[in-house]
Amino acid sequence: MDFADSPIDAQFRAQAREWLAAHAPVTRGRGRVAWPDDATLVAAAREWQSKKAAAGYAAIALPREYGGGGGTTTQQIIFRQEEERYDVPFGVYEIGLGMCVPTLLALGSDKVKERFVARAISGAEIWCQLFSEPAAGSDLAALRTKAVKTGENWLVDGQKVWTTGAQFSDYGLLLARTDSSATKHAGLTLFIIDMRAPGVEVRPIRQLDGGVEFNEVFLSGVIIPDEFRLTVPGGGWAGAMTTLMFERLNVGANIGLIDSSTLIDISRRLETSTGRASDDPHVRDIIAQAYLNDRGLKLLTYRTLTNLGRGQLPGPEQSITKLVIASQAQLIANLLLDLRGQEGALVGSALGDGWEAVERSWSFGAAMRIAGGTDEILRNVIAERVLGLPAAKRDDTTRPFNEDAA
């Protein structure tokens, strides 16, 4: 398969480069800007998103009628590749535009689409995803957050955890249990939740580096109007799988982890006690495997783009992308930092060009092997839903959930 841009995509790339050169901040060495606080980050992100929206670059592959660019997913990835060269705000709109908005377009009513999609694309509203709970991470269907129908509304009580960006989000996708007498997967429903509604309490989870990317979210008597329900009652599991497939597709495109090109570039420049790192047989073996992985992932991406162009949703094969990228980035980062010896303990900016990205992959790669599905869960998905192997035997999928939760 030819991985070169088509003539149309090559023209689009040139236009994107020209626009970014005129409007984006200064270029950087593939690291990440350290924002002093959330308010500064969000303000910068809103300004940048507004600029992109005005130029048609905010959501290139989404429909024009909702403020998108009306282009292709390939063009969206091309723009993202070019945008990576600049010090642009990252981590505010990725969940909304990459996971939540595609879910709204796939499942939402016309009223929901008209109300939310354009404002998300323009940057006016920020979105998060409220799925995981203290006792429902890998086994997401075991969640206990409860939504009870009361007239034209739903009353929600429960707790979510590891919610990225909840501290500055306006709305979120909420998966809640609406029927405890049904089986664990059959009793769930997917909603839109107003993160500013009474009863929503967000508690940031402070990281070792002082930053906050994740949050606990406590829900106490939160009222959600029935018009914010995205699936039929009991249809939430299928809706959540739609979101998770978009999430795994986005992980491969947006998390900014290093790949074989970084390993090749740095190992050629890095001198160790035994000579140039790229001449070491062990390093060369890892380079070869990483390169083959990257080529395979690109083939998979092109297959996905073809399917998206035909109007098909991302399928379970996206688990392969997420599984390989996160684990490989962590392996490469560990190798490069080990090759630096004691210097590897220094902050990335002190080690030279490209090392901030290595440091990010070392610290963030471990989190990415958990977020959106652990390695073990993804391997099960690949085995059962891609390869068609027999599913593991379990007895908790046929009993009413309230029997297991008692």
**Same domain as 324, residue 277:** yes
Q: State the pTM of this model.
A: 0.83
**Same domain as 91, residue 192:** no
CA distance 113 to 337: 46
CA distance 201 to 302: 41
**Same domain as 153, residue 115:** no
**Same domain as 330, residue 228:** no
CA distance 172 to 156: 14
CA distance 320 to 297: 8
**Same domain as 221, residue 261:** no
Active site residues: 247
**pLDDT tens string for the chain (406 positions)?**
345 678 888 999 999 999 999 999 765 544 455 677 889 999 999 999 999 999 999 999 888 999 899 998 788 888 988 887 888 888 899 999 989 999 999 999 999 999 999 999 999 999 999 999 999 888 899 999 999 999 999 999 999 999 999 999 999 999 999 999 999 999 999 999 999 999 999 999 987 767 788 999 999 999 999 999 999 999 999 999 999 878 766 655 545 577 888 889 889 988 888 899 999 999 999 999 999 998 888 888 778 777 776 777 777 888 888 888 888 888 998 898 888 888 877 765 556 777 877 887 887 778 778 877 788 988 998 999 899 999 877 777 778 888 776 5
CATH number of 374's domain: 1.20.140.10
CA distance 77 to 57: 11
CA distance 270 to 195: 48
Number of domains comprising the chain = 3
**Residue 389 DSSP one-character state:** P
CA distance 151 to 153: 6
* Amino acid identity at 229: R
Contact in structure between 243 and 103 (CB atoms under 8 Å): yes
CATH number of 30's domain: 1.10.540.10
CA distance 265 to 256: 16
**Same domain as 47, residue 118:** yes
Helix (H, G, I), strand (E, B) or coil at 198: coil
Contact in structure between 320 and 300 (CB atoms under 8 Å): yes
For 18, residues 6+ apart whose C-beta sits below 8 A from its C-beta are none
**Same domain as 325, residue 373:** yes
**Same domain as 377, residue 261:** yes
User: Which segments within 178-227 are labelled E, that is strand?
Assistant: 188-194, 200-205, 214-225
**Same domain as 90, residue 133:** no
Residue 164: CB atoms within 10 Å: 17
Last residue of a domain, one of 107, 122, 137: 122
Range of the domain at 213: 127-239
Helix (H, G, I), strand (E, B) or coil at 295: helix
CATH number of 227's domain: 2.40.110.10
Q: How far is CA 7 from CA 4, 115, 225, 312, in A?
A: 9, 37, 48, 25
Cβ burial of 266 (10 Å; 0-12, 13-18, 19+) is buried
Closest to 136 (Cα-Cα) out of 162, 110, 155: 162
Contact in structure between 101 and 125 (CB atoms under 8 Å): no
Q: Encode 226-244: b = buried (16+ Cβ within 10 Å), e = exposed.
A: eebbbbebbbbbebbbbbb
Give me Rg for the CA atoms of the chain: 22
Beta-bridged to residue 129, according to DSSP, are: 173
